[in-house]
Amino acid sequence: MRFEGRTIWITGASSGIGAALATAFAADGANLILSGRRPDALDAVASGLPTQSLVLPFETTDSDALPVAVETAWAWRGGVDMLVNNAGISQRSLAIDTVPEVYRRLIDTDLLAPILLTQLLLPLMAERGGGHVVAISSVAGRVGTPIRTGYCAAKHGLIGYMDALRAEVEQAYGIKVTNVLPGSIRTNVAANALQADGSRRGESDANIESGIDPAECARRILDGLAAGAREIIVAEGIEAGAAMLRFQDPERLFDLTAREGARLAAEREAGGGPGWRPDPAKVNRE
């Protein structure tokens, strides 16, 4: 069993990719620290695991709560072998309509929170002689996708932080660093996304509903981690192609995304301006 006996800490573990990762890691012998905002949901995940688990609820953007959380997590089994920064929130709104508070929340949740938690664990991992930091970014961390400007900014930033961190700690301290770039995974990410005014969207997208099953996503991530991959892309079709196109032919990618942006802008104008919402059936499908 590839992760037998290891202690793995997952944020955003109550549902979606986080819960699927907890199940997959436990099936492979790991002990889990499960964090998120909803203790009941975390307890439900923990109850189904065959290995030991610690439910450690906290709000990832509450920087004052992080030192105690790190101390508790580290003391549970004498260290943390792997941190999986998974907690996050998405966006579904054009920049022209989006209030500043949405950007602040996206940056706080998707970029600053994982950085601050990682920063607290780094000295402990270095002193211990190694560890592994994983960030669940997104294909949107490489491709600038319409109606996700704040989300893309945060996820691009997270990849940049992790890549630079790897350069500092991989050889110097034996700390592995891995970016994971999922595409459309069948979770509540679109339903929970922020709209232009900061409210919860409340409905999914067609591409999310037809996306990769979370259990399959988790399996691919574990396979990549076990193989020592520094970057793992979990995407299919046009999303997988776009991730590669960003380096192979960026001008073509920019043309493709600009056409999608123009379509959404025209839909907005026809739909009444700032009160417009993107049609879930058409998002990223044309």
Would you name the residues annotated as active-site residues? 151
The answer to whether 98 and 152 have CB atoms below 8 angstroms apart is no
Three-class SS of residue 120? helix
Cα distance between residue 4 and residue 82, in whole Å:
12
Q: What are the tokens at 13?
A: 């573990």
The answer to whether 280 and 267 have CB atoms below 8 angstroms apart is no
Name residue, tokens 């679109």.
190
DSSP string, 4-59: TT-EEEESSTTSHHHHHHHHHHHHTT-EEEE--S-HHHHHHHHHT-SS-EEE----
Phi–psi pair at 153, nearest 5 degrees: -60, -45
What single DSSP character describes residue 121?
H
Phi–psi pair at 122, nearest 5 degrees: -55, -50
The answer to whether 52 and 26 have CB atoms below 8 angstroms apart is no
Cα distance between residue 218 and residue 215, in whole Å:
5
- DSSP alpha helices (H): ranges in 36-133? 39-47, 66-76, 100-107, 113-128
Name residue, tokens 């109550």.
14
Q: What are the tokens at 189?
A: 């990410």
What's the chain's length in residues?
286
